[in-house]
């Protein structure tokens, strides 16, 4: 059972990191994906907020909005993983 709990914790950590990294904020990978999908003019404007990206993340974390944004995605991914295995 301890190995199973450790495995569950590892999966949860990886899911949380994946969802966090795919948020559409320019310093994160999700922001780079968003920039690549936008038309050139909008992509340039969107990329300009990169210098404020971590400040935005800290504010979202401090206000609890980050958890509110991420929770549905984390829950859906965990359910999908449980369905597969």
Domain ranges within the chain, ordered by starting residue: 2-78
Whole-angstrom distance, CA of residue 40 vs CA of residue 78 = 35
Structure tokens at 10: 């590892």
Instruction: Express each pLDDT in 13-70 by its tens digit.
Output: 999 999 999 999 988 999 999 999 999 999 999 989 999 999 999 999 999 999 999 9
pTM for the full predicted model: 0.86
């Amino acid at each position: 059972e301890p190995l199973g709990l450790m495995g569950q914790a590892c999966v949860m950590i990886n899911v949380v990191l994946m969802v966090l990294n795919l948020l559409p904020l320019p310093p994160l990978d999700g922001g780079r994906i968003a920039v690549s999908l936008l038309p050139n003019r909008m992509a340039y404007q969107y990329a300009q907020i990169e210098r404020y990206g971590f400040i935005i993340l800290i504010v979202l974390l401090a206000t609890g909005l980050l958890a509110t944004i991420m929770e549905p995605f984390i829950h859906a991914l965990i359910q999908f993983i449980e369905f597969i295995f």
